[in-house]
Amino acid sequence: MRKATVNRWRGIIFLTVLFGFLLLAASRPVSAQAATTEKCKVVFANSNGVVSNDTFRKWTRTVTKGSYIQLPTVNRSGYKCVWVEKSGTKELKYATGRNVRITKNTKFCLRYYKLYTVRYYTMNGSKEYTSLREQGYQGQVLTFPLHPTATGYKFLGWSTSINGKTVKKEGDSLRVTGNMKFYIVGKKITGVNLRKYDGTVWKVVDTSSRSATFPAVNLNSANMCLGWSRTKGKTTNPEYKAGDKIPTRTGNYYMVVFFSKQDRAPASIIKPTKHQMVYFVGAGSGAPDLITVRGKNLLEQADVIIYAGSLVNPELLSYKKEGCEVYNSATMTLEEVLEVMEQAHAEQKMIVRLHTGDPCIYGAIREQMDRLDEKNIPYESCPGVSAFCGAAAALNLEYTLPNVSQSVVITRMEGRTPVPERERIASFAAHHATMVVFLSTGLLEELSKELIAGGYTADTPAAIVYKATWPEEEKYICTVGTLAQTAKEHNITKTALMIIGDAVTHTNYDRSELYHPEFTTEFRKAKQ
């Protein structure tokens, strides 16, 4: 009897323990494998949140939680189209065509923002600086650009009217309210005119501090600037040499030039000054924090900065020190750029030539370096993040996918700059490598024809990335056959690059051998 009772209690205890284990198992979190199979509903609607037609119903879908979807591409001439997702009290905005990760049931509402043009003009309004022209939608925040240089004037900012007094400085925020025009506000420099041997103004020196000195000058020839004089046309016996204090606050001083054709040595020769370095610095693809640490340090130390104003983000100039001279090369010729370099070098100033991206790609630096070599002016290069790297980051792409593409071709269409016959787009397309095309936004119809002629099909994946890594970055997935149409629909006419190849859609690629468990490396043995 006692034995039966004991057995009965043993059975009760066993059942109790088993029930507890079952409850514990039921309450455990869902496994990673199970979580990946959870579904989320994605709804597309109009600006009022209503699924108003069959198109929105067609776009609506159910996807696996954690997966990425490409938002539908929507275009409307003169407007920027944006998908808006509400997350609590916030609104998240996405460009159409963007890849978005889905983690919950969500709704995307389509909004249209009318595009307006912002233009910049000279002080009298007679000339527009077309390189500074921008487009933005109502309420979008832009930044005021730096002005093109003007001899004899100090740039104060921008005004909404000709000869206006309301000044907005470079880098100040600009909220778009419609089509807008701004005019340079400048102040004529009060000082002395330093003139060339022929009498033309070379430079205006501000003498308000009464500490200005005569500069040294390196001429672009075998001729030699000996110093300065109040008298025009002298070739010997300068009244003032480089480093001497300018004695007056106004007036004219002329270069005293010893010409190489003269048959005797000059009476006095300016001693050579200590040569300072010219640094060619890559500014990065757009975002100001993508400049390298080395590049930022050079900007902070520079006495003179010559930057490519049509492409370089002006926010990078916030790193410059007080008193640094800034020149916008967008409005300058090669000769004018070199003249600034030579003058600054003669004055023992550190010079930074700030190029967009990495200077080695379409940077036109070789012609500058060769001229510097002729003048025995030393230089160095500091690399930067190229736009083709920024574009890949924007699209979360890997250019070199196993069994898809292991090569990247960086090229451009032929425009005013010729392309060697052996480097035609069609020739490269025959390889079916990943192709990145710069400087060709205005030639997309021709680009598509060249790509197809070389062997790509019209439905080969492609992408357009506008101003990669900038705040106004836009990116669109399309095909080789729809490149021109996609750019037109989104009003993209410049400052974009195109990516061609199956790597764009990153499908049907092989797993990397490097991280395969059956692959042995120097640091890890294969797992059986």
Answer left, alpha or beta for residue 206, where phi above 0 means left and psi between -120 and 50 means alpha: beta
Residue 419's pLDDT is 83
Of 67, 95, 98, which is closest to residue 83 (Cα–Cα)?
95
Domain locations in the chain as residue ranges: 2-30, 37-109, 191-258, 278-385, 403-504
Sign of CA pseudo-dihedral 509, 515, 521, 522: positive
Q: Which CATH number fits domain 278-385: 3.20.20.150, 2.40.128.20, 3.40.1010.10, 3.30.450.40?
A: 3.40.1010.10
216-275 pLDDT, tens per residue? 887 766 678 889 999 998 988 899 998 899 998 888 999 998 887 665 544 444 433 334
Residue type at position 493: T
Separation of alpha carbons 163 and 121, rounded Å: 11
Q: For position 228, what pLDDT does the model report?
A: 93
Helices H / strands E in the chain, number of each: 10, 26
CB-CB contact of 405 with 503 (8 Å): yes
Rounded-to-integer distance, Cα 171 and Cα 148, Å: 15
Q: From 103, 99, 51, select the one nearest 73 (Cα to Cα).
A: 99
To the nearest 10°, report the CA torsion of 405, 410, 414, 416: 170
Which pLDDT score, from 0 to 100, does residue 123 have?
Answer: 85
The residues facing 157 across adjacent strands are 185
3-class secondary structure, 92: strand
Whole-number pLDDT of residue 270: 43
Proportion of the chain in helix, strand, coil states, percent, rounded to 5: 25, 30, 45
Task: Enumerate residue ranges in the chain where pLDDT < 50.
Answer: 27, 30-36, 265-275
* The one-letter amino acid at 51: V
What angle in degrees, to the nearest 10, is found between the helix axes of 366-374 and 334-346? 40
Predicted confidence at residue 6, as pLDDT, reads: 54
403-504 is a CATH 3.40.47.10 domain: no
Instruction: Give the pTM.
Output: 0.51
DSSP type of residue 502: G
Q: Which residues contact 224 (CB under 8 A, 6 or more apart)?
A: 257, 258, 260, 266, 269, 270
